[in-house]
Amino acid sequence: MTSDRNRLSGPLADPTADAGYPDTHPPRMGFFTDTSVCIGCKACQVACKEWNLVPAETGELDLLGQSFDNTGALSANNWRHVAFIEQTVTPDRPPVDLGMPAIGPPAGDASDAGDGQVRWLMSSDVCKHCTHAACLDVCPTGSLFRTEFGTVVVQEDICNGCGYCVPACPYGVIDIRPGDGRAFKCTLCYDRLGAGREPACAQACPTDSIQFGPLEELRERADLRVTELHERGVDEARLYGRDPQDGVGGDGAFFLLLDEPEVYGLPPDPVVTTRDLPSMWRHAATAAVGVAVSVALSFLERGALERRKP
């Protein structure tokens, strides 16, 4: 028990207990986003904004040209983001990601992919509510904290907008809201969970691509699902963020993907930065000692020093 406490990386059976909650705390809750049934309707994005009163995009609306994605990425004002990836799939070849880049018409490659079938991947991204959450770890004010549901939430009355969580997140989730100054991200609808309700996005999701529930149950369900898809010949199905052995100790919000994570804009094998923090502190301490010693050395007796000079 004690050896498991206050760990910064690796598997952690109960991050909630680790965050000081009594044993009576509710089970860890999370999302399983099954992208194999996502229809890219973006209901999750809107339901999230309606519930959490997240501001709409400010300034000029612009077409991104990234298939039907005009949001781009998760941000302080987009706590859900649906990615759209257009591919041609030819048997026995890895999928070819199709153009729509800002670098001109992909006419050249098109003939290459002509005989393939079009595949359109869609995936609703969200904060991962990591077992080892770097944003939470580095937050200097305690604004980011772990809730009794094991989720990671920003406390808006505390955040002072120091911005440390922003570069700490290995998934590029959390961000500072322009004009507000504070950091925002998915709360897994902490307030709704408190009322025994499911998060707005999961409730809205028409095809149940976004599933909400106790993480343990979701993991079992996901394992079954991926097995089932493999049996159906969908070999490319894989789980992302489900493994408690991974670099962040497993995600509270994990995914079933149909291609490599980076194709969806996800890091392939993220590691919580604080895993290396003890080592960092040691290096910093050594270097600090180096400073002290260097200063001290610099004050060694004048004469002696000058004598030693070549």
Partner 1 sequence: MGLWQWIDGWPVYRQLTGDDALGRGSAARSRGTERLSARTERADRVVRSVCPYCAVGCGQKVYVKDEKVIQIEGDPDSPISRGRLCPKGAASKQLVTGPGRISAVLHRPPHGTGWERIPLDRAMDMIADRVVATRRQTWQDTHHGVPVRRTLGIASLGGATLDNEENYLMKKLYTALGAIQIENQARI
Partner 2 sequence: MAECHPVGFQWVVEARERGATIIHVDPRFTRTSALADVHVPLRAGTDIAFLGALINHVLSNDKDFREYVVAYTNAPAILREDFADTEDLDGLFSGFDPDSHHYETTSWMYEGARASAAAGDRDRWPASGDEGGPGAADRQHGGGELRETGRAHSYGAGGPALSGKPAMDPTLRHPRCVYQVLKRHFARYTPELVEDVCGVPRELFTRVADAITANSGRERTTALCYSVGWTQHTVGVQYIRTAAILQALLGNIGRPGGGILALRGHASIQGSTDVPTLYDLLPGYIPMPHAHQHQDLDAFVAADAGTTGFWGNMRAYVVSLLKAWWGEAADEENDYRFDWLPRLTGDHGTYRTVLNQLSGECKGYFLVGENPAVGSANSKLQRLGLANLDWLVVRDLRLIESATFWQDGPEIETGELRTEEIPTEVFFLPAAAHTEKDGSFTNTQRLLQWHHAAVEPPGDARSDLWFYHHLGRIIREKLAGSTDPRDRPLLDLTWDYPTSGPLAEPSADAVLAEINGHGQDGQPLSSFTQLRDDGSTSCGVWIYCGVRADGHNRAANRRPRDEQSRVAPDWGWAWPANRRILYNRASADPEGRPWSERKRYVWWDAEQGRWTGEDVPDCEADKPPDYRPPPGARAQDALAGTDPFIMQSDGRAWLFAPAGLADGPLPAHYEPYESPVDNPLYGQQTNPALQAYDHPANRYHPAGSEVYPYAFTTYRLTEHHTAGGMSRTLPYLSELQPEFFCEVSPELAAERGLEHLGWATITTARTAVEARVLVTERIRPLRIRGRTIHQVGLPYHWGPNGLSKGDAANELLSVVLDPNVRIQESKAATCDIQPGRRPRGPALRAHVAAYRRRAGLNEDEGTPPGAGEGQR
Partner 3 sequence: MTGGGERERSMVPRAEFRSYYGRPILKRPTWKVPDVPGYLFLGGTAGASATMAAVAELTGRRELAGAGRWVAAGASVAGVAALVHDLGRPERFAHMLRVLKPTSPLSVGSWILAPFSTLATASAASQATGRLPGLGRFAGFGSGVLGPAMCTYTAVLLSDTAVPAWHEAYPELPYVFAGSALTGAAGAALLCAPRADHGPPIRMGLLGTAMELAALHRVERRLGLVGEPYVTGRPGRLLTLSKALVVAGAGLSLVSGRRAAPLLAGGAYLAAGLCTRFGIFAAGIASAQDPVYVVTPQRQGLGAAGLP
Binding partner 2 by CB under 8 A: which of 27, 106, 163, 172? 106
Q: Residues 262, 268, 271, 272: what is their CA dihedral angle, to the nearest 10 degrees?
A: 40
User: Would the annotation count 48 as a binding residue?
Assistant: yes
Q: Which of residues 90-109 bind partner 1 (CB under 8 A)?
A: none
Q: How far apart are CA 130 and CA 30, in angstroms?
A: 10
Nearest to 30 by CA among 177, 211, 179, 195: 211
Q: Of 217, 62, 227, 10, which is closest to residue 71 (Cα–Cα)?
A: 62
- Dihedral over alpha carbons 254, 48, 72, 266 (to 10 degrees): -10
Min dist. Cβ of residue 147 to partner 1 (A)? 8
Say how many residues touch partner 2, by CB under 8 A: 41
**Binding positions for partner 1, 183-222, rule CB under 8 A:** 189-192, 194-195, 197, 200, 203-206
Decide: is 296 part of the binding site for partner 2 (CB under 8 A). no
Closer to partner 3 by Cβ: residue 14 or 97: 97
Q: Would the annotation count 130 as a binding residue?
A: yes
Burial 41-56 (b: 16+ CB within 10 A, else e): bbbbbbbbbebbebee
- Residue 114 has φ and ψ, to the nearest 5°, of -55, -35
Q: Was 78 annotated as part of a binding site?
A: no
CB nearer to partner 1: pick between 115 and 157: 157
d(CA 193, CA 58): 29
- Closer residue to partner 1 (CB): 166 or 204: 204
Binding string, 141-160, against partner 1, x = CB under 8 A? -xxxxxxx----x-xxxx--
Residue 242 to residue 265: CA distance in whole angstroms: 17
Question: Footprint of partner 2 on residues 197-256 (CB under 8 A)?
Answer: 206-208
Q: Annotation-wise, does 169 bind a ligand?
A: yes
Q: Which residues touch 91 (CB under 8 Å, ≥6 apart)? A: none
CA atoms within 13 A on the CB side of 259: 22
Specify binding-site residues: 38, 41, 44, 48, 127, 130, 135, 139, 159, 162, 165, 169, 186, 189, 201, 205
Specify binding-site residues for [4Fe-4S] cluster: 38, 41, 44, 48, 127, 130, 135, 139, 159, 162, 165, 169, 186, 189, 201, 205
Binding interface with partner 2 (CB under 8 A): 37, 39-43, 45-46, 49-50, 56-57, 61-63, 65, 67-68, 70-71, 86, 88, 98-102, 104-107, 110, 113, 118-122, 206-208
